[in-house]
Amino acid sequence: LRARGLGWALAPPGSDPQALHADLYGTGAHRRTGDRTRWPHLLWKRRRGDLCTTEVVPEAFTEGESRDSDFQRLRQARAPAIVVDSELLHRGARTP
């Protein structure tokens, strides 16, 4: 298991969703192979009862490139904590 960084993302009320992205990915000899998570992205809500609303595109390991069709495949998390593969396309959702 590798640790890459630790921090928080703050989104004020009424924020637009983030751009669809992968936090990092490997190329060449470091290209992703198999189904093993190399860089887990741990996300959680600070307050009890709050849920993560991060949006992910299932199985979208695209080296950070998004296509129009990826937006139709977005799925929103609804849990107090989630683990996302950093190489997977994802974004912070719009905030109410």
Long-range contacts of 5-12 (CB under 8 A, 24+ apart): 9/92, 11/92, 11/95, 12/95
pLDDT tens, position by position, 5-50? 667 778 889 999 999 999 888 788 888 887 878 888 889 888 899 9
| pLDDT value of residue 2 | 60
